[in-house]
Structure 1
Amino acid sequence: MAAPLVSVICLCFNHERFLKEALDSVLAQTYPHLEIIVVDDSSTDRSTEIILAYQQQYPQIKFISTATNLGNTKAFNRGWRASSGAYIIDFATDDVLLPDRVAQQVAAFAQLDESYGVVYSDAEYIDDESEHIGYHCRRNAQGTVISFAPSGDLFRDLLRRYFVCPPTMMVRRSVFEDLNGYDESLAYEDFDFWVRSSRKYKYYFLDAVTTRRRVHAHSLSRAWYRPGNPLIASTVKVCEKALQLVHTHEERQALADRLKYEARHTYFTGNYKEAAAFLELLRQVGELSPAYRLLLLLNKYKIDLRIFRKLYYKWRYQE
């Protein structure tokens, strides 16, 4: 049987500083059956010039340039729909693939049945200068993963918490075809993809560091809840979808845990409209306890308690 083709969809938007390292890491893969598609989402720096130079040197690279800035969900969909690989990697061109990344994940899929749609792994975190920051998974002195990294039916777990490192995922093409790609109405893709895909497909954790994920100073999680951030409204939409997908009491409880987390964070950052939406979903789930009824009242009258969150972050991050 011929080795399966793997499509690496390289998404670029103003990644001039990191683009060469990223593309070199794709070209350096030990797995030979690759389809490389670079989608530039209307960069305003020298990214296009760099991509064209690589394409001239490496004719196997396919280049798609969007006419206007589409955003990640639309740009990625344009890329994967132009691809033909049996497996697909969504690769941001500020990250780096380790040389055996594709080979390891293809080998993992070869040992799994068709019920598994996603293979994910550990990752190294790096800064803007490609210096080591840490790892996604926590390990003990013997090197065994001790953080949460399960395999199997993960729908309930993915509703409740964040634990999959997005750039480490390899996905069966059939999953994207089944889901019709990313939801283009959303400002980001990860949570929605996890919820929709894990309802129907299993996930497998590959115990290996396969990817170097770049963490920018402006991409720290506390910036997520800045008032007006469209990412929050997208999270509301995904939670609305999730409510329609839950089947069991345990799944409803997992969704309730997610809604409580989001309601707290949106309220304490002054995102009152979104906090109201999360609290209404929590009411529909049947988990509006006295504490969250109080939060609902405080949110209704927009009682500003953001100072408490600022004090927490000052303590937590020594800022």
Structure 2
Amino acid sequence: MLEDFTQFHDADHKIKLVDEDDRRSEGRASGRKLGFDLPLVSIIITNYNYGRFLIEAVDSALAQTYPRIECIIVDDASTDESEVILATIRRRNPQVEIISHRANQGQTAAFGTGFAASSGEYVVFLDADDILLPTFVETHIFVHFSLRTAVGFTSSDMLQSTKGGVVRTSWIAFGDFIASGRGLRKERLRPFGLSSGLWPFEEAPLNDIESRIHFIDAHDWENWVSAPTSGNCFRRDALTLFLGGRTSMDMRFHGDTYLNKGVRLVSGVALIDAPLTIYRIHGGNGYAGHAELCGVHSADPMKAFKAEYAAWRAVVDRLIDEGDALAARLGSDRYVSALLCLQKSYAVHPDFQQYESLARYIETRLAARAEAMRLCLGADGFEELSRRIRRARKGQIASKRRAPRPWTRPIAEFCLTFGRLLSLPELIKLGDQLWHF
């Protein structure tokens, strides 16, 4: 069902979306009376000079089969035809809340504005040039309900579209992780019961959920493999750890990388092996320049590296600047583990001559906030954290210099493949560990 994309093309190869009135009368919901309300899902559309795509993005949000949606548009002081388009949306869809920045502030600030105005227990950030397929929210909420491990967000695969047609049906980094067999944890899944009286649909959006869901655990420093902005559905309480508060976010771009890294670090992520979003490539994207092709960069590699660098630093800043509040919410042990994980993970991010090296960045920030951190963790706890951070840095510098171990990946793939075939979780876990060795 999820792989049938023909319904999204008409004779002129333009994407067709379900009309709002048709959705209400012919949707998948069974009409059964619910004992409790389903959670509200906030779809926050961020727009800067994408007026030509905005109506399709809004229509895709309102065409969701899931019955409890709020839609908020944040316009970041666009200078194109967006103002006229927003007036049309306001007239046609008065239920859509529209917020306009007086001055351009960047993607991360737009996320924060929309988040502050929203009230959903789950939050989706939709780039204005992308489109959600009709079962996006239904599938993500079904997966959240089916997880024994309450992850910070779920991330689904994406279609890549150019000139109104779908070119690719998978994101390479996402697909490579799925194909490796890593992260399969059947014991963490319990498909949500359709007969519970809560779920309003007659059938599940994923009948084979055990083979479709892959986990990346909290405190895992795996490189970014989850989908870009529009492929993710966050728990609200996970986002509160990284948006709002006393720290002002001065990172204008790469907000999706920042949130993906930060939320995954503390709460983990579940990947959904199903494409549920259309990522539109139109020549003016912030990242991709063309649909992915194996062996060919789809974006400027330096731009991608700098996004990783900026997001890593922003997560460090957030954890340290909000150290007292976050240590209280996470617990001191998990808070310390998160900082240690970041120190270990810097090895996968490049250093740039024009920017401060990441190697000592956490130590520098801890020293600058030493007094506050001692109050937060206690004098002994702070000294222990500082000692472990220094030791982790030295270990990672040594590992960067060490010759690679080419034998580990084949053995890891062997363990993962046969562990999956024979349903041996310990063998799969060994494969996971060898992959990072």
The TM-score range, normalised by the shorter chain, is: 0.7 to 0.9
User: Secondary structure at the residue paired with 1:43?
Assistant: coil
Cross-structure match for 1:301: none
1:278 to 358, 362, 366: 358
Report which of the two structures shows the higher radius of gyration computed on alpha carbons: 2
Contact 2:158–2:231 (8 Å) recurs in 1:
yes
User: Secondary structure at the residue paired with 2:175?
Assistant: coil
**Residues 65-124 of structure 1: CA distance to partner in whole angstroms, max 9, x if unpaired?**
111111111111111111111111011111110011011111122223573221111111
- Give the TM-score normalised by structure 2: 0.55
Give distance in 2, aligned partners of 1:290 and 1:133.
36
Cross-structure match for 2:276: 210
Cross-structure match for 2:262: 196
Cross-structure match for 1:8: 43
For the aligned residue pairs, the C-alpha RMSD in angstroms reads: 3.6
Contact 2:46–2:74 (8 Å) recurs in 1:
yes
Cross-structure match for 2:126: 91
Aligned letter for 2:256? D
Cross-structure match for 1:225: 302
Identity of aligned residues (%): 26
Give distance in 2, aligned partners of 1:194 and 1:42.
25
**Residues 209-258 of structure 1: CA distance to partner in whole angstroms, max 9, x if unpaired?**
111112454624653626xx787445444456689956399x65x854x5
User: Secondary structure at the residue paired with 2:124?
Assistant: strand
User: Secondary structure at the residue paired with 2:249?
Assistant: coil
Give distance in 1, aligned partners of 2:263 and 2:40.
21
Give distance in 2, aligned partners of 1:215 and 1:104.
24
Contact 1:8–1:91 (8 Å) recurs in 2:
yes
| Residue pairs, 1:1-319, within 5 angstroms | 1-113=36-148, 115-127=150-162, 129-136=164-171, 137-138=174-175, 145-147=178-180, 150=183, 151-152=214-215, 154-157=217-220, 159-166=221-228, 167-181=230-244, 184-187=249-252, 188-217=254-283, 219-220=287-288, 222-223=299-300, 225=302, 232-238=309-315, 247=337, 252=341, 256=344, 258-263=345-350, 266=351, 271-274=352-355, 276-281=356-361, 284=390, 285-286=393-394, 287-289=396-398
Give distance in 2, aligned partners of 1:181 and 1:127.
35
Structure 1: runs of 5 or more not aligned: 294-319
Query: Deviation of residue 21 (structure 1)?
Result: 2.0
Cross-structure match for 1:306: none
Query: Deviation of residue 156 (structure 1)?
Result: 4.0
C-alpha change, 1:235 and 1:170, in structure 2 (3 Å) is same
Contact 1:119–1:206 (8 Å) recurs in 2:
yes
Query: Deviation of residue 16 (structure 1)?
Result: 2.1
**Residues 185-213 of structure 1: CA distance to partner in whole angstroms, max 9, x if unpaired?**
22322333234323432322222211111
Greater fraction of residues in strand: 1
User: Secondary structure at the residue paired with 2:125?
Assistant: strand
